[in-house]
Amino acid sequence: MTIARGLIPFLLVLLPMVGGLGCSPAEPADEPTTPTADASPMTGVEKAYLEFALNHLETVDEDLAALRSLLSTPDMDDEYWRASVTTLLNRIELAHESIASLEPTERLQPFQAAAEGSLEHAAAFATALRDMLIAGTTTLSDEAAQELVKTSEGFDEVQRLFSEFLAAHPVPEGTTSGVASGS
């Protein structure tokens, strides 16, 4: 799973539109995190949770990539273009609500917090972008750009926590689909 694959090109296309953003990419952590002492296999509940959460995160990533494509050639007079953008913005905003309502196991709490935070920033980006479009502009605002950067940083953290969880809690024997491959 590479959640941020759609965000990096999105940032490259949109950030030059913003003057004086003042954000720098996230610095890698100096201290490596250690997995929990409990190295028991992933439970069925955890597997189902991760599949659901990762599906939402990947959908948001794909929606952001689709937005990047639409915004690279904006046509606010085209009804189809406006409807496509609106649909993507709605889906991005709703993903946060869907993840925020989940109650994962204790060992997945850090992943949950990172996923919620990432999707909260993605929803804030969508809201800022919607406001810009209502105002008749496709030039990315500082607020929208900052939320997009925070979304990307959050997706990196989600990816790190997911990888650590998989390393510490392998998928039980006989269940090889979904989470193990990161899809």
Least confident segment among 22-31, 47-56, 82-91, 166-175: 22-31
**Does the pLDDT at position 142 exceed 80?**
yes
Backbone φ and ψ of 175, nearest 5°: -125, 90
Instruction: Give the tens place of pLDDT for each residue, 36-80.
Output: 456 789 999 999 999 999 999 999 999 999 999 999 999 989 999
pLDDT at 13: 38
Cα distance between the two ends of the chain:
6
What number is the average pLDDT over the span 132-137?
A: 91
Full DSSP string of 5-54: GTHHHHHHHHGGGSSS----PPPPPSSPP---S--PPPPHHHHHHHHHHH
**Does the pLDDT at position 159 exceed 50?**
yes
**Does the pLDDT at position 181 exceed 60?**
no
Round to whole Å and give the CA distance between 68 and 72. Answer: 6
**Does the pLDDT at position 156 exceed 50?**
yes
- Backbone Cα Rg of the chain: 18
The H or E element that residue 125 is part of is: helix 109-134
Round to whole Å and give the CA distance between 1 and 172. Answer: 19
Look up the pTM and report it.
Answer: 0.76
